[in-house]
Structure 1
Amino acid sequence: MRRIVALLCLLAGPASAETGSDPVELDRTYEAALVYLPGAEGPEQGTVADLSAHLVDAPALVLYMHGCSGIIEIAHAAGRMYAQAGYVFVAPDSFARAEKPASCRPEVPEGGLHRAVLGWRQAEAGHAIAQLRRLTDAPIVLVGHSEGAITAATFTGAPLAARVIEGWTCNAGWPEYIGLSAPEAEPVLSLVGKRDPWFRLPILRGDCGEFMDANDRSVVFKAPDPLFDQHWTSGDAAVRALILAFLRDQL
């Protein structure tokens, strides 16, 4: 099955490469973004059309890159968490593209089905930042889970206030996927389970700590911690508190 998928991706190579940074396609991902806003009675779900009114006095905003499954409950939970803490939350929807090759099979779990997806996701992040910068000069925190975490780790398109990387090891077989691209001035927090089931292959094991400087922090959940074999760690209240404390210290 994997050989068939790989062959299809190769056959679609030229068109996919052009589509990745197509401005029309990037607009689709931004306009369809999941948005959560701080509200007097708690987090409120909105749209990008609501952002201008909320970003005028926003202390900071979170640009969230979802995983290979798209905007699922993990993204909504993140949106509620950040908005509850006072951040404007924006998550571009990569699946709003007219063309979106599969990059994983979550049921296995198996990734690596569309190598070029990293460039696509980086382009989505850069486009979203450009749109948000038209509305505000507030600090932008780049947050990602899984495939989105790879994007957050390797993004180089614009200055950021901080990065949060969840569910990624910074280790891979493809060189463009390896390491951290954050400059020393950008603090990074990474979170990963020691035996995350997505990273069974030896080449994927490790953690982002080996690529960090003194401004960064790597948290690896090891047994007997129940998160040691989980891909989504911020579903845990203690992890949410850890993330928010990191951002309070950095912003």
Structure 2
Amino acid sequence: MKQNENLVLVGSKAILVPYKPEHVKIYHDWMASPFLQEMTASEPLTLEEEYDMQKSWHEDDRKCTFIILALKSQHTPLEKKMTMKDIREKTMMIGDVNIFLNDCDDDLTFGEIEIMIAEEGYRRNGYGLEGLKMMMAYALKELGIKTFHAKISMKNQPSIHLFENKLAYYPVSTSEIFQETTLEWSIQQQKDTDTNEDEEDNYGSKATNEQRQACQALYDSLMDLWNSDIKTLDWDNLE
């Protein structure tokens, strides 16, 4: 997606940067892992195919991706005054976070979200949670997303726990064939039940009142995060 091609988001411990050719080699090395292939339902690509994929995603307005960076020393907090020079010198790639605008009816308020923390030493340390919050805040504010789906392998219980217990997602379907569960988060207003549409097919319609309230509370928190705690930089700024 070209909309975020030069956008850098700096949080309290994670940094989101656009996926550039310079990131491809490390990403390709990550995806040689059978474990990551299974967790992400991915097939291994050649390095040349990976470069082609990066270029394709950059040009595709329906795919938004950020590489997640973190300081090489996890015990050092990020400083809000960090410059792009600091980021290039002091951080390392640890994963990625993506949104696909792939609704079958072309509803651009819907996005499928996924995250991967590829570096094992950075898992379960809050980087995935912050990366997801930053991506959701960006998508809500800048892309107009109102509903997210996350498709997660049933074997990936830590990820399911993260989405359900930390981000107010709730289950809407399960695929025994693909061995994955689909979780939803939505602030979509429910349509008039007098219409001819099947209400059960509407985004957000399977949420309980309690789940809707939890989504709204998280939305308010994400907007506060976006407005107060996320710093934006320009990738091309060398200073």
Measured against the shorter chain, the TM-score band is 0.3 to 0.5
Larger fraction in strand:
2
Give TM-score, length-normalised by structure 2.
0.34
Give TM-score, length-normalised by structure 1.
0.33
